[in-house]
Amino acid sequence: MKRLRENNRCCAIVVAAGSSSRMKCSGSKIWIPLSGVPAIVRTLFAFEQAQTIDCVVVVCRACDTQAMERLRIEYSLSKLCRVVPGADTRQASVACGVAAVPEDCAYLAIHDGARPLIRPELIDRVVLDAHRYGAASLAIPARDTMKRADAQGFVVETLPREQLWSVQTPQVFQRELYESALQAAQREYTDDCQLIEQTGGRVHLCEGSPENAKLTTPEDILFAEAVLRGREDGSK
């Protein structure tokens, strides 16, 4: 696969330090088995297979670090180079991951550990997009008519659907650009693209897939299992 810049080693930062409160499960949702394999392992398999990813840092809860380290041997995860504990917020957890990235990596691919259906070819697509533009994110066009409402729940306006996208991960950034934006952040953001936006930077949207859903509620597990069954029988 052709890379667009000479210094283009890319490290994936897989963020898996959330509380999983909406999943209503004991422990972290990253350990939920999907067709017999922990969700986090399915996430890491995709990065293991992606041609544009050179190494992987996992950020998880402190209580999960030892179990995560064991996955390296159990599932032959050769790209997994560091496992580090996260912090109280997602942004702070990503910063923990950034600090653990090898110095020779010029790009950061930040991904939700709870998006286990990501495909290697989508990872490669968005990383190459970041090589071209400096910052890129997977996203899918909005399918439904979108409304903006007031505090009482009444419609204020109908938003132009053709301009709206649902953002996914990975979100990939030139390392220097991301680190500068992180230092300049004046508040907490739930989306890494917002860090770049708040400094006046531009993020290019790269079309992802509806399959690349995040495990948030129990219903999402049913969806993930259905997708995996489809892949196994060759229908997807």
pLDDT tens for 111-166 read 999 999 999 999 999 999 999 999 999 999 999 999 999 999 999 999 998 899 99
Count of residues in the chain: 236
User: What does the alpha-carbon distance between residue 106 and residue 49 come to, in Å, rounded to a whole number?
Assistant: 20
Predicted local confidence at residue 3, as pLDDT: 55
In this prediction, what percent of the chain has a pLDDT beyond 90? 83
pLDDT for position 118: 98
Break the chain down into helix, strand, coil percent, rounded to 5: 35, 25, 40
Q: Which burial class, exposed, middle or buried, applies to 200 when counting CB atoms under 10 A from its CB (0-12, 13-18, 19+)?
A: exposed
Q: Please report, in tens digits, the pLDDT of each residue of the chain (236 residues total).
A: 555 555 899 999 999 997 666 665 666 889 999 999 999 999 999 999 999 999 999 999 999 999 999 999 999 999 999 999 999 999 999 999 999 999 999 999 999 999 999 999 999 999 999 999 999 999 999 999 999 999 999 999 999 988 999 999 999 999 999 999 999 887 888 889 999 999 999 999 999 999 999 999 889 999 999 999 999 876 44
Triad 29, 32, 35: Cα angle to 5°: 145
User: Residue type for 185, please?
Assistant: A
Tokens, residue 142: 């909005």
pLDDT at 222: 94
Task: Give the Cα separation of 115 and 18 in Å (integer).
Answer: 13
Report the pLDDT value the prediction gives residue 236, as an integer from 0 to 100. 46
**pLDDT the model gives residue 25:** 63
Q: What pLDDT is recorded for position 233? A: 72
CA terminus-to-terminus distance, the chain? 23
